[in-house]
Amino acid sequence: MSWTVESKPVRCRVLCLGNRYVAEDAFGPQVHDVLQDWGMPDGVELVDGGIAGLNLLHCFDHVKQVIVVDALKGFGTAGKLLELSPEQAIFEEDQPLGHGTGLPTLLRLMELSCESDIPSVTIVGVEVPADEQSVKETARRVLFMLGSDVGMTIPPEGK
């Protein structure tokens, strides 16, 4: 990701979260890698957010839309693709404001620290464990969501 040195206007960010070296948590980075291969439309910035926690707050600044991709646990059967609103994702974390800060805390703090109008946020994820098909299905869902916003053509099945 290029932050602040981006010269083209960014209207939307796709923020993929997780630790690519921990199998259960690697879902977000895996979706990131698929999307990077497929390519993103103009005005969309793809971010491998890794495990940066609070240090990702700036990703919510100065954009209209943020799509967060993350592994889900406890929301349904394994492999199920879900879209959540911030309200559905903000739970009271066991570890508020700590080194282990997760997405619920990040979303709460985003509302306190955003330096622009608060963007529209959608969380897209799959109940883990997720297989390769789920990763691609999620990537296609992200592109579908972007397509409705920026006129992106969705890659065909099988790509």
Partner 1 sequence: MSVKTIVLHMNRVEGDLEVHVDVADGVVVDAWCKGTMYRGFEKILVGRGPLDGLVITPRICGICSTSHLLAAARALDDVFDVEPPPDAHRVRNVTLMTETVQSDIRHTVLMFAADLVNPAHRSDPHFEEAVRRFEPFRGESVVEVIRETKKILEIVAILGGQWPHSSFMVPGGIVSVPSSADLQRCLWLLRSFQSWYERQILGCSLERFAQIESVAELHAWLDESPRHQNSDFGFLLRAMRSMRLDEIGAGPGNYLSVGSLEMPNDTRIKAVQDSHFLEPAGFAQGTEVEAFEQESIREHVAHSWFMDYPGGRHPFDGETRPYATGAEGSKYSWAKAPRYADRVVETGPLAEAVMSGQSLIRDMLSQGPNAMVRQIARIIRPVRLIPAMYAWLEEARGDGHYYVKPKPLQNGRGFGLCHAPRGSLGHWVEITDGAISHYQIVTPTAWNASPRDSENRRGAMEEALIGTPVKEVDNPIDVYHVVRSFDPCLVCTVHTLRKPLNREWNGAA
The owner of tokens 């497929």 is: 38
116 belongs to the binding site for partner 1 (CB under 8 A):
no
Neighbours of 109 (CB within 10 A): 18
Q: How far is the CB of 129 from partner 1 (least distance, A)?
A: 11
Nearer to partner 1 by C-beta: 48 or 159?
48
Contact 78, 128 (CB under 8 A): yes
45 belongs to the binding site for partner 1 (CB under 8 A):
no
Q: How far is the CB of 94 from partner 1 (least distance, A)?
A: 6
Please identify which residue in 56, 66, 135, 142 interacts with partner 1, judged by CB under 8 A: 56
Please identify which residue in 84, 135, 143, 145 interacts with partner 1, judged by CB under 8 A: 84
7 belongs to the binding site for partner 1 (CB under 8 A):
no
C-alpha–C-alpha distance, residues 107 and 151, integer Å? 27
Nearer to partner 1 by C-beta: 99 or 132?
99
Neighbours of 131 (CB within 10 A): 11
The continuous run of DSSP H or E covering 5 comes out as none
Contact 44, 6 (CB under 8 A): no
C-alpha–C-alpha distance, residues 135 and 27, integer Å? 7
Nearer to partner 1 by C-beta: 18 or 44?
18
Task: Measure CA of the first residue to CA of the last residue in the chain; give whole Å.
Answer: 24
The residue ranges that bind partner 1 (CB under 8 A) are 1-5, 17-22, 24-25, 48-58, 70-76, 82-85, 88-89, 91-92, 94-100, 102-104, 108-109, 112-113, 123, 125, 128
